Structure 1
Amino acid sequence: MSDLERGERLQIMLSADELRAVENWRFDKRMPSRAAAVRELLRRGLSAEGFDVAADGARSGSFSVLENDAGIGSNASEKD
């Protein structure tokens, strides 16, 4: 699937104030669409929290919220 094809749909509900904030940010940054703005805000938020795109072949156990005894968890990459 190319980067331009998006196979999943995510529906969210926003208050009028939240939508106004997204729209104001979108127009300030000259984003082409509301969806593009939301994707960019999501990407920036995840990056700010230290999350990155998973590598091909990554196992779901590498992304648990809490570490287990095997050392697999949200900080597993820091232990390598």
Structure 2
Amino acid sequence: MPPNKRTYRLQIMLNAEELAVLDAWRFERRMPTRSDAVRELFRRGLTMTGDDADTVGGGRSADFRVLPTRN
């Protein structure tokens, strides 16, 4: 089996605003699919180091947002 064959499916839920941000990011970079964009963002997040890296552990999933919450 080739090492880059994708055999696992990951399902995520986004709200309309998060999807719009993802699509805008994807189109700016001329990425062919949303899946490609998510994989690239995932790769970048995992390789991030330094001041921009999130060093806070724990918390609820609701604490990790793409967009700020509105009050």
Q: What's the TM-score, normalizing by structure 2?
A: 0.64
Distance 2:49 2:31 in 1: 23
Report % sequence identity: 56
> Which residue is equivalent to 2:6?
6
Specify every segment of 5 or more residues in structure 1 that has no aligned partner in the other structure, as ranges: 51-64, 66-80
Give unpaired runs (5+ residues) of structure 2.
51-56, 58-71
1:30 alignment partner in structure 2: 30
Pair 1:32–1:47, CA change in 2 (3 A): same
Q: What is the RMSD computed on CA atoms of the aligned residues?
A: 1.8
Aligned residue identity for 2:23: E
Which of structures 1 and 2 has the bigger CA Rg?
Answer: 1
Higher relative contact order (CA 8 A, sep 6+): 2
For residues 55-74 of structure 1, what are the structure 2 equivalents within 5 Å? none
Q: Which runs of 4+ in 1 moved over 2 A?
A: none
Matched residue count: 50
1:45 aligns with 2:45: yes
